[in-house]
Structure 1
């Protein structure tokens, strides 16, 4: 199969049904097909060839959806850029992927001179916003108007579909290579559970479309021939309005987003009864937030997804019927397309109830990391993805995630690698030594917490440290809290003992993750 297959089917079966809704624009499947064929033709005329990487940096929109289809149509490779990154991180991903074309919208157009200066090999910039086209960029609509449509390359199967950059333990993002088979296997496996959209669904894209979690919802809708309701970015009132105005049936959110909606004083002013399925991920949901969310969306079933970019992204699902109190801390059971194992350090499977590393196998497992053979070999062993998460399976096959073997924090649905933050903090002149850990947070699940030893005769405030860190890496990775100490727990070899450090904040909790 291939990513554009669902569009062809929808054009054949219901061409005049609406596929995309964005602000005051509605576009039918037939019109999307024509626009995508023309955009692919424009990319070809610009010199984009087989397997070339084409990046996009911008907020959600109907044109973002057209990009997701036109790039594989043109036989090229998707490269959605994380909109929360600093310019340094964005430039790194563009250069590392050797992207020749960048789509950019109004929100990020002011960043264009810095991006071009940092990555001189960027050949073409296509502006897909509604404002004036910036200097040095091409107009999206002008390109479409002048281009001739081309036949779909039907790039598919084990061919590379996209590079999806994720945080790195060395301070640099890693490009996760996902094939069409990877992405479609994950989508079909999740659809087979019945927890995701049904035919005729109206899916709201409120989570960022660059993120693989929302892309899973996108692909499910494309396969089913459903309607996409798109808002530029998450904002509680915008979500409430979209659900009420467009009779949204499905969406994907993180628990923090669900909490912000359920606790918003205006939520009772909107008709939200159309909502049928809410998929959430990144962390479990608390019983209190779930209770409030169920009252806000009385007709909706809630499903938790556990996965990662390297799994395209679905591994396990906790369906609506499983949202009983004794299972809320579970990540659910293996989706139909994967096999879950819990293994010890030697790779041997451990008995039920025993904590070990979560290992996943299936046709959704990534091809590897772009130009990183050593990292690929470490993560993929015998075709299985070693997740770096610690957990156990109960007698009924429910997965419980209890720790992270890799040094990673999940805050508000975003992955943050401690080493990446530590590298940035260490460059501050007042810092002699530092460690970064995730600590429990009622709103963010986990927050990034810095523990710092200062240089003699210096001082450091949280505000100063955050400003410094955000000048080097994305703002969401900056520490939210800070402790100044005189010593850190270290091993005999001088290595900082993160587990001992975390104990001060997690106490005797059975889980060391939220």
Structure 2
């Protein structure tokens, strides 16, 4: 690609240096940096990383709470062509050790915790460990800087991965999704359009920066040259104080967090009027400015995952439509494909597949998984959806496996979703069992809510009323709990216990 067409995160920062010479970039406790000051620190940090042997493709790991250093490490890694990963520091020592072994970082920047200390003794013996704080500042100061033009150009390829975020362990182990400069910029452009970000936008990063939800808003705010306010973690009174003191426009918040802020501000001591956010409750709405952007008016609805940079579809592009996931971002294509890679017609369930500018570059060190995920030139999300007659999309659930009954494809996730709408059902999983007539038939394993009752016939009839009749379970068994693998049912264990088998391809 010609340099004329390139745009990296470093280029964005270099432009803000010139266009916003007095503009506030970050606020973190006593730290307040303008964009030129942030650029100076990033350039020096990049020099220190390069001098320390961090080369293009190397990984740099952050193990700590939220900090402005997360942003400057990401930007510095981008300048030397390295990949930055903020990982979940709240994991157990064994889980952190797994990340250290899997990622094999050249540098680990860490904050003290018992789990991190223990994991350090188990893995990553060759990494350089730098404690956040004085040691980090000394390391940064040791770097040789260079003029902004050459610093922004060093090692920069906008299609190269720059950010790694570990995904939820749906299959039993997490995978690090790699996102490039261009993917992050593309997603930021879509999000800031949907959120209708304007000059002066201020985002409070009070959610974890290892989560794509916080990171995507952090980068969209950076993209537009807004101000980023960092706090180590969510604490209701401190969040209220920061919203008032820094006149924050947006924060990473959802239901229980909002309820905590309402309680913390019950006496009205904090002025939260600068916050333009989603309507939630009469008490909350009276404290803030209810925002009417497509993002907030749709209650932040849509479908997304880490691998697509955050959001793939926005309900704000399909409000009033039949599908509660809305329509795709303007910078992606979405298709719903069957097991053979053919697009299914409207009304039918298929795997959500996508391609476009905001999609990830694959997983770190997972060649076989990457090949499967990119089959046919589409990213296979592993999730099921349905395109409604009006063109909007509905998210159904994880794909995981498919049941073949006669010539019909039945996805357990769709049936499970229907089962869980029954008021007596606390949890459910669906497996396929051999059937002499149909090849396979669906069987539901159901956990009832405490004190609730339901018969097999009632469960089956409920599902018949929710989805096509051929998808309803032909058998239902009740159990005390559903075995899990990661966050999803352990279907192998369920098959072994309840007679599952005869899946397509077996």
SS where residue 445 of structure 2 aligns? helix
How far has the Cα of 1:113 moved from its partner? Answer: 3.4
Task: Kindly indicate whether the alpha-carbon contact (under 8 Å) linking 1:438 and 1:502 is maintained by their aligned counterparts in 2.
Answer: no
Task: Kindly indicate whether the alpha-carbon contact (under 8 Å) linking 1:44 and 1:74 is maintained by their aligned counterparts in 2.
Answer: yes
How far has the Cα of 1:57 moved from its partner? Answer: 0.8
For 1:440 and 1:36, locate their aligned partners in 2 and report how far apart those are by CA, in whole Å. 49
- Pair 1:154–1:15, CA change in 2 (3 A): farther
For 1:381 and 1:293, locate their aligned partners in 2 and report how far apart those are by CA, in whole Å. 46
In the other structure, the counterpart of 1:371 is 365
For 1:254 and 1:398, locate their aligned partners in 2 and report how far apart those are by CA, in whole Å. 24
How far has the Cα of 1:291 moved from its partner? Answer: 6.3
In the other structure, the counterpart of 1:261 is 261
Q: Which of 304, 316, 320 pairs up with 1:319? A: 316
In the other structure, the counterpart of 2:396 is 402
For 1:355 and 1:437, locate their aligned partners in 2 and report how far apart those are by CA, in whole Å. 13
In the other structure, the counterpart of 1:147 is 143
For 1:321 and 1:277, locate their aligned partners in 2 and report how far apart those are by CA, in whole Å. 19
Q: Could you give the per-residue CA deviations for residues 407-463 of structure 1, whole angstroms, max 9, x where no partner exists?
A: 8xxxxxxxxxxxxxxxxxxxxxxxxxxxx999979xxxxx99799xxxxxxxxxxxx
- Pair 1:217–1:504, CA change in 2 (3 A): same
- Pair 1:394–1:264, CA change in 2 (3 A): farther
1:299 equivalent to 2:290? Answer: yes
TM-score, normalization by structure 2:
0.74
1:353 equivalent to 2:347? Answer: yes
Computing the radius of gyration from Cα coordinates, the structure with the larger value is 2
Task: Kindly indicate whether the alpha-carbon contact (under 8 Å) linking 2:158 and 2:181 is maintained by their aligned counterparts in 1.
Answer: yes
- Pair 1:489–1:363, CA change in 2 (3 A): closer
In the other structure, the counterpart of 2:306 is 309
For 2:337 and 2:446, locate their aligned partners in 1 and report how far apart those are by CA, in whole Å. 24
Q: Which of 106, 113, 131 pairs up with 2:117? A: 113
1:491 equivalent to 2:433? Answer: yes
How far has the Cα of 1:332 moved from its partner? Answer: 2.1
For 1:236 and 1:499, locate their aligned partners in 2 and report how far apart those are by CA, in whole Å. 45
In the other structure, the counterpart of 2:273 is 273
- Pair 1:503–1:347, CA change in 2 (3 A): farther
Matches within 5 A, 1:496-507: 500-502=444-446, 504=448
Q: Which of 321, 330, 338 pairs up with 2:332? A: 338
How far has the Cα of 1:293 moved from its partner? Answer: 4.8
Q: Which of 49, 53, 62 pairs up with 2:55? A: 49
SS where residue 397 of structure 1 aligns? coil
SS where residue 253 of structure 1 aligns? coil
In the other structure, the counterpart of 1:76 is 82
Task: Kindly indicate whether the alpha-carbon contact (under 8 Å) linking 1:192 and 1:336 is maintained by their aligned counterparts in 2.
Answer: no
Q: Which of 14, 19, 30 pairs up with 2:36? A: 30
For 1:267 and 1:65, locate their aligned partners in 2 and report how far apart those are by CA, in whole Å. 35
How far has the Cα of 1:180 moved from its partner? Answer: 1.6
In the other structure, the counterpart of 1:485 is none
Matches within 5 A, 1:168-247: 168-193=169-194, 195-247=195-247
For 2:337 and 2:273, locate their aligned partners in 1 and report how far apart those are by CA, in whole Å. 44
5+ residue gaps in structure 2? 1-6, 402-415, 436-440, 473-486, 488-506
Task: Kindly indicate whether the alpha-carbon contact (under 8 Å) linking 1:20 and 1:227 is maintained by their aligned counterparts in 2.
Answer: yes
Task: Kindly indicate whether the alpha-carbon contact (under 8 Å) linking 2:100 and 2:124 is maintained by their aligned counterparts in 1.
Answer: no
- Pair 1:403–1:212, CA change in 2 (3 A): closer
Q: Could you give the per-residue CA deviations for residues 343-367 of structure 1, whole angstroms, max 9, x where no partner exists?
A: 2333322232333222222122222
TM-score, normalization by structure 1:
0.73
- Pair 1:350–1:298, CA change in 2 (3 A): same
In the other structure, the counterpart of 1:126 is 130
- Pair 1:27–1:158, CA change in 2 (3 A): same
Task: Kindly indicate whether the alpha-carbon contact (under 8 Å) linking 1:105 and 1:128 is maintained by their aligned counterparts in 2.
Answer: yes
How far has the Cα of 1:23 moved from its partner? Answer: 1.6
Deviation above 3 Å: which 4+ runs of structure 1?
A: 110-113, 258-265, 289-296, 436-441, 447-451, 488-493, 502-513
How far has the Cα of 1:263 moved from its partner? Answer: 5.7
How far has the Cα of 1:318 moved from its partner? Answer: 2.1
How far has the Cα of 1:249 moved from its partner? Answer: 0.8
Q: Could you give the per-residue CA deviations for residues 456-501 of structure 1, whole angstroms, max 9, x where no partner exists?
A: xxxxxxxxxxxxxxxxxxxxxxxxxxxxxxxx988359xxx99712
- Pair 1:62–1:383, CA change in 2 (3 A): same
For 1:105 and 1:231, locate their aligned partners in 2 and report how far apart those are by CA, in whole Å. 15
SS where residue 121 of structure 2 aligns? helix
- Pair 1:57–1:336, CA change in 2 (3 A): same
Number of residue pairs aligned between Structure 1 and Structure 2: 420
For 1:179 and 1:347, locate their aligned partners in 2 and report how far apart those are by CA, in whole Å. 26
Q: Give the CA RMSD over aligned residues.
A: 3.6
Q: Could you give the per-residue CA deviations for residues 153-212 of structure 1, whole angstroms, max 9, x where no partner exists?
A: 25232112122221334422112122222222222223333x252222011111111222
How far has the Cα of 1:267 moved from its partner? Answer: 7.4
How far has the Cα of 1:311 moved from its partner? Answer: 0.8
